Amino acid sequence: MDSDMRITAVVKVGTSSITDEEGVIDSSLVAKLCDEVAELRRQGHWVVVVTSGAIAAGLPDLGLGGERRPRDAVTLQAVSAVGQGNLIGTYQRELARHDLVVGQVLLAPLDFFVRAQYLHARGTLTRLLELGVVPVVNENDAIADDEIRFGDNDRIAALVAHLVEADVLVLLTDTPGLLTADPRLDADASLIEEIIEIDHELEHLAGASGSVRGSGGMASKLAAAKIASWSGVRTVIADARRSGVVVDACGNTPGVGTVVHAREGRLSARRLWIAFAVGSSGRIQVDAGARRALEERRVSLLPAGVVGASGQFDVGDAVEVVDPDGTVFAKGIVRHEAKLLQANMGARTSELPEGVSHEVIHADDLVVLP
C-alpha cells in the first residue's frame, strides 16, 4: 500500500476486555482482537497493540485467581513478572494463525521523557512496523516504581500514539463509549458519538470508576483521548466485544463508539509530557499581565509576574500556573524551589540575588492549556 493511504493505528485493550469473570485471560477474546488486527494488516495498515493483562495472565500459575487475587503492590508486580510471558505467548499464538509476527515492547514513563530513550523507543517501534511485525506494548509493571509509573495503559497508549505519529487511537472498553449518564442509574443514557473538545463537564461525566479487573475507567480513557487530541491523533472509545470494532474504528464507521477529534497542531513529546504525564507538585499564581504575556507571546515566566506560590516543589518539578482568580491556564517545569520563589516573587531581574535563575519557568518548559 502507498504510504499516503496507509494508516497507523494504536489499539489499546484493557484487562477487563480480555479476561473472564474469574479475572483470567480468555483466549477467545484475545483471538477476536487479533483477527481484527490481522484484517487491518491485510489492508496494508500498521498496527500497534497496547495491552494490559500481565497480572491476569500470571494468576492461574500461582493459584491466585478469583477471590484469592492479591491486592498488595509488591505481590501484584511479582505476579505480572510471571504473567507477562504468558500474555505475550497468547498474542503470539493468535497472530501466528494469520502468519503475523509479534514483537514485545515493555515501556516505562522515562522512555517518553528522556530524549535519548524516546528516540530509541520510536526507532524500535517504527522498525518493527516496517518489518511487518505487530508490536505488542505493555508497561514494565514488574519493576515499575509507584512514583514514576503510568498506573494504567490508557495513558501509555496515548503517548505511544504520539511516539509513532499514529492516525488513530482505539481505546477498547466494556461499554459502547462515553454515555450521557450511568446506564445502571439512567435508562435513557445514550452514546456521545462525537467530542470536539474535552472540557470539565465531560470529565465530570466520565467519573473515575474502573472495574475490579482493570485499573482504568472512563475517566482515564478520556484523559488519554485528551493527550492524543493534543498529539494530533483522533481517538475512538468503543466496546471491545462489538463485532469488527477495530476495523470500523479505523475506517471512520459512524456509531462505532465515541470519537474524540484531534486538535490542530501537535505538541512536542516534552510538552506533552509536561502537560499530561507528570503530576503537579504545586501552584504558582501570576498577575493578569503575566497571564497575557504567557498566552499571547509564549515567553518565559519571570519572578516579576509572580504574586503567590503554594506547595513543596523543587527545581525540576512540574507546577500549575494560575491567574489572579485561581484558574489553571498553564503548566511547566519550575527552575526555582518553593521557598526561594516565595522570597523573590515580584522582583525584577536586576533585583534577583546572584546565581538565581532569571526564569521561574522557561518558555521551552511551559505549556499553555485550553
Q: Shortest CA distance to 235 belongs to which of 277, 243, 227, 278?
A: 227
What local confidence, expressed as pLDDT, does residue 200 receive? 78
Report the run of H or E that residue 368 belongs to, with start and end: strand 366-368
Please report the sign of the dihedral spanned by the C-alpha atoms of residue 32, residue 37, residue 41, residue 43: positive
Give 89-141 pLDDT, tens digit per residue. 999 999 999 999 999 999 987 787 777 888 899 999 999 999 999 999 998 86
Average pLDDT over residues 167-178: 94
pLDDT at 209 over 60: no
Q: Angle formed by the axes of helices 218-230 and 153-163, to 10°?
A: 10
Q: Shortest CA distance to 142 belongs to which of 86, 89, 84, 90?
A: 84
The pairing of beta strand 328-333 with beta strand 318-322: antiparallel
Q: Are 299 and 286 in contact (CB under 8 A)?
A: no
What span, in angstroms and rounded, lies between the C-alpha atoms of 121 and 107? 8
pLDDT at 184 over 80: no
Tell me the pLDDT band of 151, cut-offs 50, 70 and 90.
low
State what percent of residues in the chain have pLDDT above 70: 93
What span, in angstroms and rounded, lies between the C-alpha atoms of 293 and 270? 22
Task: Could you please state the CATH topology (level 3) that the domain comprising 8-271 is classified under.
Answer: Carbamate kinase (3.40.1160)
Average pLDDT over residues 61-71: 86
| DSSP code for 164 | T
Q: Which of 24-38, 136-150, 193-207 has the lowest mean pLDDT?
A: 136-150
Question: C-alpha grid cell for residue 359?
Answer: 526564569
Give 229-240 pLDDT, tens digit per residue. 999 999 999 999
What span, in angstroms and rounded, lies between the C-alpha atoms of 153 and 293? 36
What local confidence, expressed as pLDDT, does residue 274 receive? 85
- Which residue in this structure is represented by grid cell 489499539? 11
Tell me the pLDDT band of 341, cut-offs 50, 70 and 90.
very high
Question: C-alpha grid cell for residue 196?
Answer: 470536539
- Rounded to a whole number of angstroms, the distance between the first and last alpha carbons of the chain is 38
Does 67 or 141 have the greater pLDDT score? 67
Question: C-alpha grid cell for residue 20?
Answer: 473472564
Instruction: Give the domain ranges of the chain.
Output: 8-271, 279-368
User: What's the CATH number for 279-368?
Assistant: 2.30.130.10
What local confidence, expressed as pLDDT, does residue 143 receive? 65
Which amino acid, 126?
T
Q: Which of 93-97, 277-281, 285-289, 340-344 has the lowest mean pLDDT?
A: 277-281
Distances (CA, A) of 224 to 135, 202, 234, 282, 300: 20, 13, 11, 23, 28
* pTM recorded for the entire structure: 0.83
Q: Tell me the pLDDT of the chain averaged across its residues.
A: 89
Average pLDDT over residues 13-40: 93
pLDDT at 46 over 90: yes
Give the 3-state secondary structure of residue 154: helix
Contacts of 153 (CB under 8 A, 6+ apart): 12, 14, 50, 51, 52, 138, 139, 215, 216
pLDDT at 39 over 70: yes
